[in-house]
Structure formats: structure tokens, C-alpha cells
Chain A
Amino acid sequence: MAFDRTSLLLLGALIATLVAGPFLPAWFTFLATVALSKALVVLGVMLLMRAGLVSFGQGLYYGIGAYGAGLAANMLGIRDAFLLLALGVAASAVVAAIVSVLLARYRDIFFAMLSLAFSMIFYGLLVRSAALGSTDGFNLPPANFAGWSPVGATGRSAVFMLTAVLAFLAAIGAHRYLKSTLGMIGEAIRTNEIRVEYLGASVRRAIQIKVVLAAALAGAGGVLTALAASHIDPGLAYWTTSGEFVFVALLSGTAHVAAPLIGCMLFELIRTFAVQYAPYTWQMVVGASMLAVIMFLPGGLWSLVRMRLRRTA
């Protein structure tokens, strides 16, 4: 397996993160855990956007991942983080495989609306089910890691490291995917679907695979967020959560797999400070930034990095 420059850089960044982890303040590693778990979801959004599809319903899989892990932990007594991850990802992927059969027939606003509808259906189920705690949700017990049961600060560090490893590996995987035939077909679909069909490839199948991949990423993100926060509530599946993933993707830029990672970190950092010092202006800041990016920097913040580096695709 050939490692190109991006993959090596990401691997290096991961190692640096893991090494630095124990020396970073707790509030920062918690923030980073949440940010990187969301970055997984945003990576999925990015993959879909590269194919010209905007999903306003990634909250569905984010929620399935989280609730899947939560239910497995509380009802089946499963504590192992890896197992919970596997379950969350599997559940998301299965739902996506089913849903994508329908979803892959739509584009543009209909794709967006249908994905929104599915996530809201799930939200509707969650919010009204007393068994799942309705709007309050429920808590998650601390997780084990293949037999090791860390508690307190060590436990949080463990979750942080797990999240970092997954986020960076996912980024490397996404990078690889985007350069593969299937990934490039996604780019082709964005500009000219008919030609793709006329070359002998199935557009529908390619989109289905993408939807499932994005769902698996979102599911993993959901499990990790749940582990980090030790709490799950229906808000994870609400449309505003899905919307947040979309606009972080837009703000970060979709040209490079590192963009969602950096973008999510910045987003969470700024959000933490904004909520603390200027609580009722956070949404305004996000909205204004989004408008600014849309109007003046359509490639997202990454295009600023691009301009600095002066590299070609």
C-alpha cells in the first residue's frame, strides 16, 4: 500500500497528537475528543459533497451510533469500546444500506429533503419514547478497552486517544478513497452523471456505497461522542445537528481530508469561548462566517491554506 505525502503527514500528526495527549489540559482533550468525533461525521459529509450530494440527515446515523452504543451498554451490559464501536458502525451501515436504495435515486434538494425526513423520523421516534428517556436521553457507563478499565482522567484520555486514532485513520482512508476509481467516479458524478453511465459504471451503486460509507463514519462519530460525553439524547438526530455538520464541512472546505479535522477543532474551540463570553452571539457568528465563506471564500477556509501552499490538486 503506497503512502503518499498526505497520508504520511496525517500519520505524523496522529503520532504527535497521541504523544502530546497526556500533557494537554483536560478541558482541551475533552474538546478535542468531541471535535474529532464530529470530524468523522464531517468527513462523511465531505465525501458526499464531492459527489455533488448534500445530506441534511447525517444526524440519523450519528444518533443510531450513539443510541446503539448506549442501548448495548445499558441493556446488554457491553462495556468494551471497540465492540460498541463495531455495533454502532454496523447498525448505521445496515440502516444506510437499506435507506440508500431509495436515496440514491434522488439528487439536489430532494436528496437533501429525503435525508432530512429520515433523520426526523428517527428523531420523532426517540423524542416520544419514554423507554429511551424522551428528550432527556440517558447516560452511558464508562467503557473498557479490550479488558483495560480506566477510570476518571485516564478513562477520558483513553477515549481521546481512541477518537484521535480513528479520526486520523479515517482521514487517511478517505484520502485514499478519493483518489481511487470509485472516489473519482464520485467527482465525475458531480459534473456529468449521464457520461458516467455511458462509460459503463453504475451511478446509483456508486452513490449507495457513498451513503453507506458516510453513514459508517457518522455512526462511529456518534459512538465516540457518546463515550466522551457519557450521555445520549435525541438532539443528536435533530435537523440542526445535521445542519451543523453540513456547514462545518462548508466552512472547512472539501478540497482536502485534513480540512474537516482542522475545521472541527477550530469550530469547537471558538464555540467553547463564544458560549462562555458571548453566549447569545454564537449562532450569529457561525451564520455570519458561513455567509462570508459562501460569498467570498467558496472553497472554505482550506482554500486559504491552499493559497499559501500553492499546490495543485
Chain B
Amino acid sequence: MSDGLILETRGVSLSFGAVVAAQDVSVAVRSGEAVGIIGANGAGKTTFVNIVTGYLKPDSGRIFYGGEDITPLSPRDITRRGIRRSFQIPQLFLDLLARENLLIAIAIAEEPSPSPWRPLDTASRRAEADAVSSRMGLEPYRDREVRVLPQGVRKLIDIAMSLTGRPRLLLLDEPTSGISADEKFEIMDRVMNALKETAVTVLFVEHDMEIVERYARRVIAFFDGRVIADGPTAQVLSAADVRRYVVGTEIYRRAGAVGEANAVG
């Protein structure tokens, strides 16, 4: 029973020896939300994504996706259920062309048991790959080997791959890190617009508060593995502990800090 909750974690905790990566993390996300996840380095944001996507197993606590307990599942099974993620450091197939990276993503999503006979590069898959790469502004790079592409472009390919396969829940790990300041809004606009068409729930980990303000309706703040704030963007970003532990000093203040993102709360 999900009550419209697409993702729910209950009391998730994980330690690596003396290091507490996650402590009693309980979070509930409704279908269609756009949630920003913030926190200083080492606060547990990527760990959270790793746990939700099955790469790490929590010591205690459970994770529910659409009401189903996905705690024991592997990343592969979790992906098959409609959860996709992008990576902080782009995880790509360096020896292959950008287009081939996308084709592989699309083909695996289509064929639960990959065929040893039917070709990877079919007309329909190519069309889909080209559509996704156009959306992300990757046309000039389609036929280039990923190994020679700069980090920013690799980031885009990584995100593009996570957009394939019609996900219902998307976790983006620092989508704008490595992308120049003037391009980041353009990229995020493209991504969020693409997702709006398919009513996908998005959680994105970010260090860039401008991005968080603009695109997140809700923010979850991490510190030392714990959730220290969880609520509407403006509220969380102006909370005292969040400012102290995450955002920086008390001086953080922008004239008219509450932008469009907060209009609906």
C-alpha cells in the first residue's frame, strides 16, 4: 500500500566501521515530486542514493518503492523496476561511441534477456538514441568515442543514459557538477522539461544552491548521515542548522532569495 508514495525509506542506517554513513534516515517521497538533496561532502547524500539503488545494503531499516520492499534487491533488479540514476563521476563505456552508450542503455531496457543474435543498432533504437542525445544537446558528439570527450559532455551522456528506459523514479547525483555556470541552467531545463512529459519523480543531489532553489520544490538536508531538515525549499534553505551545517555561514542571503521555485511551496 503506497498512498501515492513512490519512495519511502524507514530508519535506514549504515556504518563502515567507525564511519556513520547513514543514521536512521526516514524519508517519504510522493510521485511526481522534484526533491533536492543537499549536504556537505561526506554527509551521506551519495550513500543515500547508493542504498536506495541497491548498491549498498543498509545495516538496518527498509526501503519501499511503490509499496514494495526493495531493500534486498540488486541494482539490476531495482533498475528493472523503473528506478534510474546518474553518477557523480560519469560512469560510461569509454571505448564505445556516445551513440553506442545510449544504444546499449536502450537495448537493455527493451530486452530483459539480451539477444546474442539480433543487432544492437536497429532503426528504432537509433531513433530513440538520437532523440535523447538531441534533447541533451549532444548531437556533435554522437559519433565520437567517449574516451576523448571532456568531462562536461560525459556528464550529459551519463544523464542521457539515465533518461532512457522510461524510468518512474530518477536519482541524479550532482547533475550540474563539472558543467560551466552559464550552461547549467540550460542543461537542467532540458532535463526537467524532458521529465515533465513523463511525470517522473526526481531526486537530485546538488551542491549548487541556485540549481536547488530553481528546480526543487522540496529539499532534504543531510549532515553526518542524518536528515537534519526536510521540507519546502525556501524553508529548508533558510533554516539555521541548514545554513550552519550545509550551506555555509549566516551571511548567505540573496536579495529576493525566494525565487520561482517557492511559488508553489
Binding site for B on A (CB under 8 A): 2, 176-177, 179-185, 187-188, 190-192, 194-202, 206, 209, 213
The answer, yes or no, to whether B118 is at the interface (CB within 8 Å) is yes
Q: Which residues of A contact B121 (CB under 8 A)?
A: 179
Q: Which chain B residue has the least Cβ–Cβ distance from A187? A: B96
Q: Which residues of A contact B76 (CB under 8 A)?
A: 197-198, 200-202
Contact of A195 among B53, B93, B115 (CB under 8 A): B93
The answer, yes or no, to whether B94 is at the interface (CB within 8 Å) is yes
Q: Interface segment, B27-35, B105-113, B229-237?
A: B105-113
**Knowing A184-B104, A201-B108 touch, does A177 contact B116 (C-beta < 8 A)?**
yes
Q: In the complex, how many angstroms separate the beta carbon of B111 from the nearest chain A beta carbon?
A: 6
Q: Which residues of B contact A185 (CB under 8 A)?
A: 104, 108, 114
Q: Which chain B residue has the least Cβ–Cβ distance from A190? A: B95
Report yes or no: B114 in contact with A201, Cβ–Cβ below 8 A: yes
The answer, yes or no, to whether B161 is at the interface (CB within 8 Å) is yes
Report yes or no: B120 in contact with A191, Cβ–Cβ below 8 A: no
Please report which residues of chain B, range 95-134, place their CB below 8 angstroms from some CB of chain A when the two chains form the complex: 95-96, 100, 103-105, 107-109, 111-112, 114-121
Contact of A200 among B108, B115, B119 (CB under 8 A): B108
Report yes or no: A199 in contact with B116, Cβ–Cβ below 8 A: no
- Taken together as a complex, chains A and B put the C-alpha atoms of A248 and B22 apart, in Å, by 51
**Knowing A194-B91, A199-B161 touch, does A180 contact B75 (C-beta < 8 A)?**
no
- Taken together as a complex, chains A and B put the C-alpha atoms of A188 and B161 apart, in Å, by 13
The answer, yes or no, to whether B244 is at the interface (CB within 8 Å) is no
**6 pairs of A and B residues whose beta carbons are closest in the complex:** A200-B79, A182-B116, A181-B114, A195-B91, A182-B114, A181-B107
**Knowing A191-B93, A198-B79 touch, does A181 contact B100 (C-beta < 8 A)?**
no
Q: Which residues of A contact B79 (CB under 8 A)?
A: 197-200
Contact of A199 among B96, B100, B104, B115 (CB under 8 A): B104
The answer, yes or no, to whether B74 is at the interface (CB within 8 Å) is yes
**Knowing A197-B74, A200-B165, A201-B108 touch, does A183 contact B116 (C-beta < 8 A)?**
yes
Q: Give 18 pairs: A residue, B residue, CB < 8 Å, sorted on A.
A: A179-B121, A180-B119, A181-B114, A184-B103, A184-B104, A187-B96, A191-B94, A191-B95, A191-B96, A192-B91, A192-B93, A195-B87, A198-B84, A198-B91, A199-B161, A200-B80, A200-B109, A201-B114
**Knowing A187-B95, A188-B96, A195-B91 touch, does A176 contact B109 (C-beta < 8 A)?**
no
Q: In the complex, how many angstroms separate the beta carbon of B240 from the nearest chain A beta carbon?
A: 37
Q: Which residues of B contact A194 (CB under 8 A)?
A: 55, 75, 91
Report yes or no: A199 in contact with B119, Cβ–Cβ below 8 A: no
Q: Which residues of B contact A176 (CB under 8 A)?
A: 117, 119
Q: Which residues of B contact A190 (CB under 8 A)?
A: 95
- Taken together as a complex, chains A and B put the C-alpha atoms of A187 and B108 apart, in Å, by 14
Report yes or no: A198 in contact with B116, Cβ–Cβ below 8 A: no
Q: Which chain B residue has the least Cβ–Cβ distance from A209? A: B116
- Taken together as a complex, chains A and B put the C-alpha atoms of A312 and B87 apart, in Å, by 30
Q: In the complex, how many angstroms separate the beta carbon of A6 from the nearest chain B beta carbon?
A: 13
Q: In the complex, how many angstroms separate the beta carbon of B249 from the nearest chain A beta carbon?
A: 37
Q: Which chain A residue has the least Cβ–Cβ distance from B95? A: A191
The answer, yes or no, to whether B40 is at the interface (CB within 8 Å) is no
Q: Which chain B residue has the least Cβ–Cβ distance from A204? A: B76
The answer, yes or no, to whether B85 is at the interface (CB within 8 Å) is yes
Q: Which residues of A contact B107 (CB under 8 A)?
A: 181, 184
Report yes or no: B108 in contact with A181, Cβ–Cβ below 8 A: yes
**Knowing A180-B117, A180-B120 touch, does A195 contact B111 (C-beta < 8 A)?**
no
- Taken together as a complex, chains A and B put the C-alpha atoms of A197 and B117 apart, in Å, by 21
Q: In the complex, how many angstroms separate the beta carbon of A312 from the nearest chain B beta carbon?
A: 9
Report yes or no: B120 in contact with A181, Cβ–Cβ below 8 A: yes
Q: In the complex, how many angstroms separate the beta carbon of B212 from the nearest chain A beta carbon?
A: 24
Instruction: A180-B115, A181-B115 given; name 14 further pairs at CB < 8 Å.
Output: A176-B117, A180-B114, A181-B104, A181-B119, A183-B120, A184-B100, A187-B95, A188-B96, A190-B95, A191-B93, A195-B87, A197-B75, A200-B109, A209-B116
Q: Which residues of A contact B96 (CB under 8 A)?
A: 184, 187-188, 191
Report yes or no: A192 in contact with B92, Cβ–Cβ below 8 A: yes
Q: In the complex, how many angstroms separate the beta carbon of A295 from the nearest chain B beta carbon?
A: 21
Report yes or no: B53 in contact with A187, Cβ–Cβ below 8 A: no
Q: Which residues of B contact A201 (CB under 8 A)?
A: 76, 108, 114
Q: In the complex, how many angstroms separate the beta carbon of A184 from the nearest chain B beta carbon?
A: 5
Q: Which residues of A contact B92 (CB under 8 A)?
A: 191-192, 195
Contact of A181 among B53, B93, B95, B111 (CB under 8 A): B111
**Knowing A184-B120, A188-B96 touch, does A198 contact B75 (C-beta < 8 A)?**
yes
Q: Which residues of B contact A200 (CB under 8 A)?
A: 76, 79-80, 108-109, 112, 165
Q: In the complex, how many angstroms separate the beta carbon of A189 from the nearest chain B beta carbon?
A: 9
Report yes or no: A187 in contact with B93, Cβ–Cβ below 8 A: yes
Q: In the complex, how many angstroms separate the beta carbon of A171 from the nearest chain B beta carbon?
A: 15
Q: Which residues of B contact A196 (CB under 8 A)?
A: 104, 108
Among A2, A181, A185, A192, find the residue whose CB has the most chain B CB atoms closer than 10 A. A181
Contact of B53 among A198, A209, A213 (CB under 8 A): A198
- Taken together as a complex, chains A and B put the C-alpha atoms of A181 and B109 apart, in Å, by 11
Report yes or no: B85 in contact with A198, Cβ–Cβ below 8 A: yes
